[in-house]
Chains A and B, each alone.
Chain A
Amino acid sequence: MQFTSSSIGRKILMAITGQAMVLFAVVHLLGNSSIFGWLNGGINAYAEHLHSLPLPIIIGFRLALLALVCVHIWFGIQLTLENRDARTKQYAVKSTQKTTFASENMIWTGSLIALFIVYHLAHFTFQVVNPETAALKNLVPLHNEMVPNVLGMVVAGFKNFFITFIYAGAMVALFLHLSHGIQSFFQTMGWSNDRSQPIIIRLGTLVALGLFLGYVIIPLTVFAGILKG
């Protein structure tokens, strides 16, 4: 049986693509945190630094991310459909002992995150959600050159209740998804046993919580008026 059609092979692909995206989420958060000013020039300088990378690197990185997302979604849907088919009739009394809300709803939290990614790209990458605050159209001076005003765009966006609500909601979905996904990676790769697994589960949830708090603090501090443009 081919690796990509076998049960465990596809599970491993889900785990590796998922974990690679977790690493991306960590790096992305570190970049975002420049909004709090630890980098000279703040998030505008960080964005300018990313965009000044050679074009093949930017395109290659984006294509690689897109490939990760596509593989993860494709096999995620395929495995979910197969699993539903393997258990068509549910019990009259539902009484699971270890199964969690997060582990049972991976397909739904995943779908929400996928929808959010589309919205997030439209908002901050293609900048079509609030065109008048688009960073590419509002240049500001930085280190003697004019750069896109990312900070202004972010702050303008999160002053809107609905946008902040969408971001915060998506981060709840991300937390649920990762609270199952991160520890799951280690089990799938065969890197856990009865002694390490309880620790891995706790650490996985902790990392998911850290990402949730780190991400959600930006829209919330803007909305609360603490972080200003």
Chain B
Amino acid sequence: MSDHKTMTLTLIVWRQKSATDPGKFETYTAKNITSHHSFLEMLDCVNEDLINADKEPIVFDHDCREGICGMCSQVINGKPHGGQERTTVCQLHMRKFKDGDTIYIEPWRARAFPIVKDLIVDRAALDTIIQAGGYTSCHTGGVPDGNAVMIPKPIAEEATDAAECIGCGACVAGCPNGAAMLFTGAKVSQLALLPQGRPEAAARVLKMTAAASECGFGNCSNHYECGAVCPKGVDVKFIARMNREFIKAQFA
């Protein structure tokens, strides 16, 4: 390893014992951190120190650590996933920070995402939105012939862009209104773009947007913060497409 220098950082972390606990910030020192540590590995080091000192480790969500599962969910210095473009927390590396930095770490904040503990929030509300209509109810028979259903490449690509959403909830966390319209718009668009999704498109957009409101998510007022913080670069054009589908559904 060419770089032997280590960093010492001050972490100001949100600690909350349970959903009902009011919670507060606690300050920790992260020592012996190299630029090669990922952000989560840095937290692992801090937790090791905490465990050795017989203290409760910082609880945070993580799974694949490859930037594809959508589990990690931290607001770092006010930015969901830390603010590096198209990057989840697990793929954020400590080379983005300097020795002596103070870092604020907070959970996703939205009424629809109740805090379970420390940095873990309950994102089941996103599942509720999907359950309301984020599917096609066609019967799957045998394997169809390739290209039996013709889909122009630009359409297929746009649907895939929408399908990139990993459901991490950063759009909700970033939105000043706590709205889930980018998440909902991405799924509505993905299915509405493809022939298999068209038959149920009108019912789907109505059911999914209603479910989002019922879950306690806010309303979109076009801040476009969601698109800026999305680790998968899902574009706000999918919210526009969802709005268009919503208007079409009024006449369906």
Contact = CB atoms under 8 A, between A and B. Distances in A.
Contacts of B242: 8, 190
A94 interface: yes
Interface string A164-186: 00000000000000001001101
Nearest to A3: B250
B168 to A, nearest CB: 16
B176 A99 contact: yes
A99 B225 contact: yes
Contacts of B240: 186-188, 190-193, 197
A201 to B, nearest CB: 9
Contacts of B235: 194
A197 B237 contact: yes
A10 B219 contact: yes
A197 B83 contact: no
B39 interface: no
Interface in B200-252: 206, 209-210, 212-213, 216-225, 227-229, 235-237, 239-247, 250
Interface size for chain B: under 10, 10 to 19, 20 to 34, or 35 or more residues? 35 or more
Interface stretch (B50-58, B65-73, B92-100, B106-114): B106-114
Given A187-B236, A193-B240, A79 B221 contact: yes
A6 B210 contact: yes
A189 B247 contact: yes
Contacts, number: 146
B62 interface: no
Contacts of A106: 221
B187 to A, nearest CB: 15
Best-buried of B109, B217, B235, B240 by chain A (most CB within 10 Å):
B240
Contacts of B223: 96, 98-100, 103-104
Contacts of A9: 246
B175 interface: yes
Contacts of B244: 189-191
B247 A190 contact: yes
A97 B219 contact: no
Contacts of A183: 222
A86 B225 contact: no
Chain B residues touching A, majority SS = mixed
A180 to B, nearest CB: 7
B14 to A, nearest CB: 8
A90 interface: yes
A91 B222 contact: no
Nearest to A80: B221
A188 B106 contact: no
B12 interface: yes
A89 B83 contact: no
A53 interface: no
Q: Give the one of A91, A96, A189 with max B CB within 10 A.
A: A91
A87 B111 contact: yes
Interface string B69-106: 00000010111000100000000000000000000101
Nearest to B12: A92
Interface in B178-210: 178-179, 181, 206, 209-210
Given A186-B240, A197-B237, 10 more contacts: A10-B219, A11-B221, A86-B219, A88-B111, A91-B78, A91-B109, A106-B221, A187-B243, A188-B222, A190-B247
28 contacts: A1-B206, A1-B213, A3-B250, A6-B246, A7-B179, A7-B220, A8-B242, A79-B221, A82-B218, A83-B176, A83-B179, A85-B218, A86-B218, A91-B109, A92-B12, A92-B104, A94-B78, A95-B77, A98-B224, A180-B222, A184-B222, A187-B222, A188-B240, A190-B241, A190-B243, A191-B244, A193-B241, A194-B235
3 smallest A-B Cβ distances: which pairs?
A190-B244, A95-B78, A86-B218
Interface of A: 1, 3, 6-12, 79, 82-83, 85-100, 103-104, 106, 180, 183-184, 186-194, 197
